[in-house]
């Protein structure tokens, strides 16, 4: 697949990590923890009109792109802190200054989401692999610790993290097999169950991770930001006035920061 280039004159969204700067809170690359599992992040370049389009309206395309950039930043930062044999960004678009060191970048293939996910696992090689998307910036190393710990793959063939909208936010496979994803109907209210059924049909032993909310709508964005106070995503949401009506409990004239608790570091 030929990776699409950024249109002439189009700039990266505000809030992107400056070139040469390490993401907030990320460990230096030389201290990134090692592990046995390849971590995959499947994402789209955060460009206006291409990323988080379901947030428009109430957001403008530029605001939606800034939210997407913040979500991607927080996700990559979390992945950098997780033990991994290799960290791979499976990207639709071009990498930018927002990409921290320590990631191999491979382009997404063409086709439906099932084909793109299948290809991502194919790129992982033969060892265990776990994939997350960019729609759950509230993810932390602690959430994935059961799968990435020393006993994560003992008597376990797959890890599955359901999403509240019926999909899934993470999938791990002890032996990555693209056929386990091809043909699974994606982006429906029953995608998660369909994927679980496919794993069960192959006789895989599946363990589950907590359910998380994807950021698809304005209400999702506000709720996820509340779950991750202190994150870059929460700050990006707070900077969008159009999302104020979706923030229950925040009186008019008060900023979201005045009511949000401080985020604590993941263990």
Q: Which residues contact 186 (CB under 8 A, 6 or more apart)?
A: 112, 113, 114, 117, 167
pLDDT band at 140 (very low <50, low <70, confident <90, very high): very high
- For residues 69 and 58, is the Cβ–Cβ distance under 8 A? no
Angle (nearest 5°) at CA 2 between 68 and 63 = 15
Q: Which residue has the higher pLDDT, 97 or 154?
A: 154
The strand pair at 129-133 and 34-44 is best described as: parallel
Q: Which of 225, 249, 255, 223 is nearest to 237 (CA)?
A: 225
pLDDT per residue as tens digits for the range 26-76: 444 446 788 899 999 999 999 999 999 999 999 999 999 999 999 999 999
Q: Is residue 209 predicted with pLDDT exceeding 80?
A: yes
Q: How many CB atoms neighbour CB 249 within 10 A? A: 8
């Amino acid at each position: 697949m030929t990776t699409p280039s950024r249109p002439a004159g189009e700039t990266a969204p505000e809030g992107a990590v400056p070139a040469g700067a390490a993401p907030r809170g990320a460990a230096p690359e030389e201290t990134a923890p090692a592990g046995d599992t390849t971590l995959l992040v499947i994402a789209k370049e955060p460009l206006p009109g291409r990323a988080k389009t379901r947030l428009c309206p109430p957001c403008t395309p530029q605001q939606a792109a800034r939210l997407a950039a913040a979500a991607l930043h927080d996700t990559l930062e979390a992945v950098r802190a997780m033990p991994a044999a290799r960290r791979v960004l499976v990207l639709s678009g071009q990498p930018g200054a927002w990409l921290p060191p320590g990631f191999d970048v491979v382009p997404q293939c063409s086709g439906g989401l099932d084909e793109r996910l299948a290809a991502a696992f194919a790129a992982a090689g033969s060892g265990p692999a776990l994939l997350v998307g960019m729609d759950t910036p509230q993810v932390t190393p602690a959430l994935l610790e059961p799968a990435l710990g020393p006993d994560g793959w003992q008597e376990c063939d797959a890890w599955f993290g359901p999403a509240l909208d019926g999909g899934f936010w993470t999938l791990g496979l002890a032996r990555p097999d693209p056929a386990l994803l091809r043909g699974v109907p994606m982006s429906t209210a029953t995608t998660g169950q369909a994927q679980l059924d496919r794993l069960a049909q192959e006789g895989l032993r599946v363990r589950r991770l907590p359910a998380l909310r994807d950021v698809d709508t304005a209400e999702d964005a506000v709720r996820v930001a509340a779950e991750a106070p202190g994150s870059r995503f929460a700050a990006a949401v707070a900077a969008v006035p159009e999302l104020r009506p979706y923030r229950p409990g925040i009186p008019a004239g008060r900023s979201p920061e005045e009511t949000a608790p401080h985020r604590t570091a993941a263990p």
